[in-house]
């Protein structure tokens, strides 16, 4: 493998997202992540454009690249038509490929996220699905949601959905041929390989931390150490 920057430079999001950064800080000024997290997209873009592999490696192993919310507010405002959010996406992609995401707490969250998202897509054909959006993981969903999920079929029928039904409509059962096509797409485009890579490095990290995969999943999903936010030391 070539230098880290060369790998990043192959990513179309970097081609689109990094022309020349003039270090003006407009992206940081508008960034919702910078307001709460110890996060400065200007510095990240600048680090990448300096092409210093040691610094890029440190970034790939850091919490920093996982603070962005990918809202892309920075793209609208950059006077040089960069997209700090796109640069972040390229960095995260490389961090996932190389297993560097397991070096940071926020990076390790990629494991439960991958399980939830790709699990839903491959099993149901949706990114989010009622069966896996559980009240115990989402207390903020409130008593209305609790009631709704307890009476899911009744409510879905009442509101005109076609929940798990045949034919078109809301939350219909996606035909098996379509799910098979999604799986084939994952197989030929690197989606399946990505799931396996994230799993492999996460298993090694869980071992190192002395946790079972279930413990690791819960821990990475729920645990937040002090020190990520601007108002913390």
Partner 1 sequence: MIYQGKQKIWSEYQKEIPDDHWYYVRSCIRQNFFPASERMFTEITRNVLGKDIYETPSHTTCGGIAYHCDTIPQETVMTIVARQFALMTEAGYENYVASCITSFGNYAEILETWHEFPELETKIRELLWKACKKEFKKPKYLAHSSDLIYKFRGEIAAKGRFRLVDKETGEPLRIVEHIGCHYAKMFPHKGVGGAEYPCVLSGMIEAWGGQVIDYPERRHCCGYGFRQYHVQANRGYSLSNTHKKFESMEPYHPDAIITNCPGCPYFLDRWQYVIAEQTGKTYGRDGFGIPVFTYEELAGLVLGYDPWDLGLQLHQVAVEPFLDKIGIEYDPSAKYKGLDKKDILRPGLPQNLKCF
Among 22, 24, 71, 209, binds partner 1 (CB under 8 A): 71
Write out the binding residues for ligand SF4, residues 57-96 only, by CB under 6 A: 68-74, 78-80, 82, 84-85, 88
Instruction: Tell me: does residue 46 bind partner 1 (CB under 8 A).
Output: no
Q: Of 43-51, 55-63, 86-94, 206-214, which segment contacts partner 1 by CB under 8 A?
A: 86-94
Q: What are phi and psi of 204, to 5 degrees?
A: -60, -40
Give the whole-angstrom CA distance, residue 195 versus residue 200.
9
Q: What are phi and psi of 22, to 5 degrees?
A: -100, 10
Rounded (10°) angle between helices 191-208 and 176-189: 70
Write out the binding residues for partner 1, residues 154-213 only, by CB under 8 A: 154-161, 166-172, 174-175, 177-179, 181-182, 184-191, 194-195, 198
186 φψ region: left (φ > 0), alpha (ψ -120 to 50), beta (else): alpha
The residues pairing with 37 across neighbouring beta strands, listed in sequence order, are 229
Q: In the complex, which residue's CB is closest to ligand SF4?
A: 85
Write out the binding residues for ligand SF4, residues 10-39 only, by CB under 6 A: 21-27, 30-33
Q: How far is the CB of 32 from ligand SF4 (least distance, A)?
A: 5
Among 24, 32, 81, 196, binds partner 1 (CB under 8 A): 32
Instruction: Tell me: does residue 184 bind ligand SF4 (CB under 6 A).
Output: no
Instruction: Tell me: does residue 51 bind partner 1 (CB under 8 A).
Output: no
Give the whole-angstrom CA distance, residue 219 versus residue 216.
5
How far are the Cα atoms of 106, 120, 123, 147 from residue 63, in angstroms, in the given order? 5, 26, 30, 37
Q: How far is the CB of 189 from partner 1 (least distance, A)?
A: 4
């Amino acid at each position: 493998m070539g230098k880290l920057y060369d790998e990043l430079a192959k990513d179309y999001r970097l081609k689109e997202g990094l022309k020349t950064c003039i270090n003006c800080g407009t992206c940081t000024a508008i960034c919702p992540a910078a307001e709460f997290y110890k996060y400065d997209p200007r510095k990240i873009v600048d680090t990448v454009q300096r092409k210093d592999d040691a610094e890029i490696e440190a970034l790939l192993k850091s919490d920093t690249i996982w603070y962005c919310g990918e809202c892309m507010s920075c793209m609208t405002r950059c006077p040089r038509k960069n997209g700090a959010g796109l640069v972040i996406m390229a960095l995260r992609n490389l961090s996932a490929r190389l297993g560097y995401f397991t070096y940071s707490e926020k990076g390790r969250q990629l494991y439960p996220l991958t399980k939830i998202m790709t699990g839903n897509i491959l099993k149901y054909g949706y990114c989010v699905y009622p069966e896996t959006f559980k009240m115990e993981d989402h207390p903020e969903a409130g008593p209305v949601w609790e009631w709704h999920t307890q009476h899911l079929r009744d409510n879905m029928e009442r509101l005109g959905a076609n929940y798990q039904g045949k034919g078109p409509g809301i939350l219909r059962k996606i035909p098996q041929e379509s799910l098979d096509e999604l799986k084939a797409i994952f197989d030929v485009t690197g989606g399946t390989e990505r799931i396996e890579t994230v799993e492999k490095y996460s298993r090694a990290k869980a071992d190192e931390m002395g946790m079972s995969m279930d413990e690791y999943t819960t821990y990475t999903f729920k645990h937040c150490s002090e020190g990520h936010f601007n108002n913390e030391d």
